[in-house]
Amino acid sequence: MEQITQIALNKAIMLLKAIKAEYVIQIPDAPIINEGSLEVVAPRERKRRQMTVPYGTYSHFLTGRDFDGMKVGDVFLLEPGEFDAESLRSAAVSRGCKLWGNGSVISTIKNNVIEFMRLQ
């Protein structure tokens, strides 16, 4: 470990001890410093859920139907076709929030037709 790194580590440990903190310090090329009852655990592996349609499918489906061109107060009706209505509704509302901001779109599903209204 470089001398400047050791000096910084010693100062950090001194400050942590002064406030009576529990800590674990892990630095490359140095042993783990453990003060207190904390323990080091390996990070969990992130699991991705199984995709039902390829990435970008819903976005492409919406782009071809002028969803992005909605103005405030417009109502947009969308038949899901071969897609799951709830999944498509969720993707469309997410797209609307990205385009116009959170809370800008409300939606409902009625008789397998998705209805959207742009609020802002």
Q: What is the pLDDT of residues 4-43, one digit of tens each?
A: 988 999 999 999 999 999 999 988 888 888 888 887 788 8
> What's residue 16's pLDDT?
94
Exposure b/e, 73-112, CB count within 10 A at least 16 = b: eeebebebeebebeebbebbbebbeeebeeebbebeeeee
Return mean pLDDT, the chain.
89
Task: Give the pair of three-digit tokens for residue 80.
Answer: 């899901």
State yes or no: pLDDT of 115 exceeds 80.
yes
> What's residue 15's pLDDT?
95
> What's residue 118's pLDDT?
92
> What's residue 37's pLDDT?
87
Q: How far apart are CA 2 and CA 7, in angstroms?
A: 9
